[in-house]
Amino acid sequence: MNEDFIHKWISQVKKGTLSFIVLNVLKGGKAYYGYDLINEIKKITEIEIAEGTLYPLMNRLKDEKLIKSEWVEQESGIPRKYYSITPEGKNTVTKMEEYWHNLNKSVLKITK
Amino acid sequence: MNEDFIHKWISQVKKGTLSFIVLNVLKGGKAYYGYDLINEIKKITEIEIAEGTLYPLMNRLKDEKLIKSEWVEQESGIPRKYYSITPEGKNTVTKMEEYWHNLNKSVLKITK
DNA sequence: TACACATACATTGTTATACTATGTACTTTG
DNA sequence: CAAAGTACATAGTATAACAATGTATGTGTA
């Protein structure tokens, strides 16, 4: 009955969470291409990211200089755009983690 | 330097989080009025909610029948609109909690 | 008494972002 | 050879936080 409200709510919660998750996956230094990122995130977190969500997100992160990208030709198939984190991105993701942990601490305080 | 990005990010994270927090405060059954809620949430979670954020939020929650409201005249001062949770609201907040905990589990997996 | 500040609710306009839908183009598989 | 998968991208829509602004009352203080 209120599935619709919950559904919309989840979509709202994802706002902000996705950039955090993407930066965290890239944090280790390994480069990922878009399609790969979607599958990787789905595998680890069970969160499904629409392609129409990911690509604009990657461009925003790039505009903010938190990640950089590079086209890589494949021996066969479509060229891939590989994304990797910048020092500024690492810096930022650390601050995000701090905020997230505080937020969760607050939520735990309030939900129990 | 990237304070601006972080600031915008926090604002996005709040989307969805705020309704969750408000419903959790009301969950116990006690009625709160808007101004009081803002202060209560600030006290418990250190999260500051703008009035221009809270009042439309409360109206949305009321439209969804997750909370109900009642005007209460004061012996002195401005009448207060008291909000309290509905059975449907309690139901919903339980589902939200489930999602939140799963999300946090995923985030923890990815951040460490 | 006048002014600042706190209490209390509300609306308007702006901005950011997730998502759906759609499109392009190549490769693999049944 | 058609369908499904790989891979990137954009346009349009909906939602929600927030700043700014407005209304109105009460309290403290100089």
pLDDT attached to residue B1: 53
How much is the pLDDT for A78?
A: 85
Q: Please indicate if any CB of chain A lies within 8 Å of the CB of B39.
A: no
Q: Which residue is nearest to nucleotide C6 (CA to C1')?
A: B35
Check CB contact of B48 with chain A, cutoff 8 Å: no
Say which residues have a Cβ less than 8 Å from residue B111's Cβ, sequence separation at least 6. A24, A97, A100
Within B 60-89, residues with CB less than 7 Å from strand C: 74, 77-82
The model's pLDDT over A31-83, given as tens digits with 9 standing for 90+, comes to 999 999 999 999 988 899 999 999 999 999 999 999 999 999 888 788 999 99
- Number of domains making up chain B: 1
- Residue in B6, B45, B64 nearest the CB of A109: B45
Residue span of the structural domain in which A51 resides: 12-111
Determine the pLDDT at residue B13: 93
Q: What is the pLDDT of residue A88?
A: 95
CA B75 centroid distance within chain: 28
Domain annotation covers residue A4: no
Q: What sign for the dihedral angle of Cα A72, A77, A78, A82?
A: negative
pLDDT for res A26:
96
Q: Please report the pLDDT score of residue B35 as a whole number.
A: 93
Confirm whether any atom of chain C, the nucleic acid strand, is less than 7 Å from CB of A11.
yes
pTM of the entire structure? 0.90
How many C-alpha atoms does A76 have within 13 Å on its Cβ side?
Answer: 0
Residues in chain B with CB shorter than 8 Å from the CB of A15 are 12-13, 15-16
Q: Note whether B45 contacts A107, CB cutoff 8 Å.
A: yes
Contacts of A37 (CB under 8 A, 6+ apart): A22, A25, A49, A54, A83
In a domain? residue A3: no
How far apart are alpha carbons A14 and A50 in whole angstroms? 12
Residues of chain B positioned with their CB less than 8 A from the CB of A88: 1-2
> Which residues in chain A (51-80) have CB-CB distances under 8 A to chain B?
64, 66
User: For residue range B14-70, what is the model confidence (pLDDT) as tens digits?
Assistant: 988 999 999 999 999 999 999 999 999 999 888 999 999 999 999 999 999 999 999
Q: Which residues of A touch B95 (CB under 8 A)?
A: 6
Question: Per-residue confidence at B101, pLDDT binned at 50, 70, 90?
Answer: very high
Could you tell me if residue A6 is inside a domain? no
Q: What is the domain-level CATH number for residue B89?
A: 1.10.10.10
Is B110 touching A (CB cutoff 8 A)? Answer: yes
Residue B2 scores a pLDDT above 80? no
